[in-house]
Amino acid sequence: MNETIQSIIDDFAFLDEWEDRYRYVIELGEALAPFPESARDAEHKVPGCVSQVWLVSKRGEGSDPAIAFLGDSDAHIVRGLVAIMLALFSGRPASEIVETDAEGLMRKLGLEEHLTPQRANGLRSMIKRIKRDAQEALTERV
């Protein structure tokens, strides 16, 4: 996936209808990198999501490592939400990930008001997991 978070924000602003935005979110999910079958397990599953969501983090080197994320879901719209979160967080230093206001982005895109409560809770669970992995990377630095 080569969408940046800014291009996603810009595309959302261009699309007036929520039906078009939902289609766009689904297209983002279709563009996700293939997810390894071996990581579709309990260890990588994000709890709190109604749909199944899996997340793998790969930590770089250093005291503030960049963290790359891979993710997937068994639901089309949720897979697109995974893509948005990966565009926001993946490849960034752990300290930036911890400080990123993902909930503010959700509000800016209007996701809070247009997602079911279950999907919004699942999205928050994914954000919590990503930030936890980043915090652990900072805590475990030597």
Contact (Cβ atoms closer than 8 angstroms) between residue 62 and residue 142: no
49 as an active site residue: the answer is: yes
Contact (Cβ atoms closer than 8 angstroms) between residue 80 and residue 25: yes
How far is it, in rounded angstroms, from Cα 84 to Cα 111? Answer: 11
How far is it, in rounded angstroms, from Cα 21 to Cα 140? Answer: 39
How far is it, in rounded angstroms, from Cα 116 to Cα 141? Answer: 38
Contact (Cβ atoms closer than 8 angstroms) between residue 39 and residue 60: no
Classify strands 66-73 and 92-93 as parallel, antiparallel or unpaired.
Answer: antiparallel
Q: Which of 25, 28, 46, 49 is catalytic?
A: 49
Q: Which residues are catalytic?
A: 49
